[in-house]
């Protein structure tokens, strides 16, 4: 399996923290808002004996420099995969990262073996920062008036960040990640330049939609709607888990991913023909 390799990679004027481990079909993990690649620690521990796992801190998050933006994320992924010599990849996007993953699949379908949308937002096709359940205007004012630490305290109390597991390490990990979030995207001018996608695309690839059993009502509805609307899609509900389902119940989450990603291992359940 090997120890995960962490490095800083120069990509388009920014230094991105990148983690890789394992061999086999390539799987790229894209984290959610205000957290970073460390959210995928349980997946690296369990799946790197069967896949080549890749995760990165999106620019403006975690240990990566640069200005946050989905347009940047897509260009960064393209260059990062080229640096790593990866031609085709399965992409797993969580929450805001699901926006990135869907757009990557739309714009680079030939480079995408399959798509996982984890805890996707209701307005998945929108370009920009989190909306709806997240009171951005209030958080922006909080940062400006009281500083980033005040925001971090409030964000950790948000329903989307609630953990249902009693595992101490998971709780410590979430606090560590939020503690690294710099918050620049809350107060900087919007930099998105991508055209909007007005309707769900007909992606000719296997798609897995994931929700935690105790995810918010809005996210559960979004997941069910996407699974019905997207061609070749299936829905996995992670028991005993909230929005951070990969941390709440990593065993069930890893099993759902593995059953989707690896037809060689479980041909009667798997659909993702990774190469």
Taking only the tens place, the pLDDT of each residue in 194-212 is 555 556 677 889 999 999 9
pLDDT of 127 reads 59
pLDDT of 267 reads 41
Say yes or no to pLDDT of 268 above 60.
no
Among 42-56, 66-80, 125-139, 234-248, the range scoring the smallest mean pLDDT is 125-139
Domains observed in the chain: 5-261 (3.40.50.1820)
Question: Comparing C-alpha atoms, which of 153, 161, 165, 152 is closest to residue 133?
Answer: 161
Residue 124 backbone class (left: φ over 0; alpha: ψ -120 to 50; beta: rest): alpha
Q: Where does the pLDDT of residue 246 fall: very low under 50, low under 70, confident under 90, or very high at 90 and above?
A: very high
Cβ-count burial of 7 within 10 angstroms (0-12 exposed, 13-18 middle, 19+ buried)? exposed
Helices (H), the chain: 41-47, 70-84, 96-107, 136-146, 148-156, 168-180, 184-187, 217-229, 245-248, 250-261
pLDDT of 103 reads 94
3-state secondary structure 217-235: HHHHHHHHHHHHHCCCEEE
Q: What is the mean pLDDT of residues 20-37?
A: 96
For the chain, what is the total number of helices (H) and then of strands (E)? 10, 8
pLDDT of 219 reads 96
Q: Where does the pLDDT of residue 5 fall: very low under 50, low under 70, confident under 90, or very high at 90 and above?
A: confident
Q: What share of the chain is helix, strand, coil (3-state, %, to 5)?
A: 40, 20, 40
Query: Could you say which DSSP state residue 244 is in?
Result: S
Q: Where does the pLDDT of residue 256 fall: very low under 50, low under 70, confident under 90, or very high at 90 and above?
A: very high
Question: Comparing C-alpha atoms, which of 161, 30, 34, 181 is closest to residue 97?
Answer: 30
Task: Pick the more confident residue, 191 or 132.
Answer: 132
The string of pLDDT tens digits covering residues 64-117 is 999 998 889 999 999 999 999 999 999 999 999 999 999 999 999 999 999 999
CB 105, CB 199: distance < 8 Å: no
Q: What are the tokens at 213?
A: 């059993």
CB 262, CB 274: distance < 8 Å: yes
The string of pLDDT tens digits covering residues 118-151 is 999 987 766 555 556 777 888 999 999 999 999 9
CB 93, CB 117: distance < 8 Å: yes
CB 242, CB 162: distance < 8 Å: yes
Residues 240, 237: Cα–Cα separation, whole Å: 9
Say yes or no to pLDDT of 29 above 50.
yes
Tell whether pTM > 0.85. yes
Q: What are the tokens at 224?
A: 């069910």
pLDDT of 135 reads 79
């Amino acid at each position: 399996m090997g120890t995960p390799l962490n490095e800083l990679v120069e990509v388009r004027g920014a230094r991105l923290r990148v983690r890789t481990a394992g061999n086999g079909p390539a799987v790229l993990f894209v984290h959610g808002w205000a957290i970073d690649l460390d959210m995928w620690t349980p997946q690296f521990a369990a799946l790197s004996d069967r896949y080549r796992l890749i995760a990165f801190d999106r620019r403006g998050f975690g240990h990566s420099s640069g200005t946050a933006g989905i347009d940047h994320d897509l260009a960064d992924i393209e260059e990062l995969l080229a640096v790593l010599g990866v031609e085709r990849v399965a992409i797993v996007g969580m929450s805001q990262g699901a926006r990135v993953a869907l757009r990557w699949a739309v714009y680079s379908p030939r480079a995408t073996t399959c798509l996982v949308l984890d805890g996707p937002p209701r307005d998945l096709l929108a370009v920009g920062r989190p909306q709806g359940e997240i009171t951005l205007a209030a958080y922006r004012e909080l940062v400006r008036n009281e500083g980033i630490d005040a925001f971090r305290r409030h964000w950790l109390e948000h329903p989307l960040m609630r953990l249902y597991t009693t595992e101490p390490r998971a709780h410590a990990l979430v606090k560590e990640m939020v503690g690294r979030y710099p918050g620049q995207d809350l107060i900087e001018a919007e930099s998105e330049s991508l055209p909007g996608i007005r309707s769900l695309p007909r992606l000719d690839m296997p798609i897995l939609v994931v929700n935690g059993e105790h995810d918010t009502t809005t996210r559960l509805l979004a997941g069910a709607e996407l699974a019905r609307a997207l061609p070749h899609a299936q829905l996995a509900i992670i028991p005993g888990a909230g929005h951070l389902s990969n941390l709440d119940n990593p065993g069930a989450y890893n099993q759902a991913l593995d059953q989707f990603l690896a037809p060689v291992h479980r041909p009667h359940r798997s659909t993702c023909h990774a190469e």
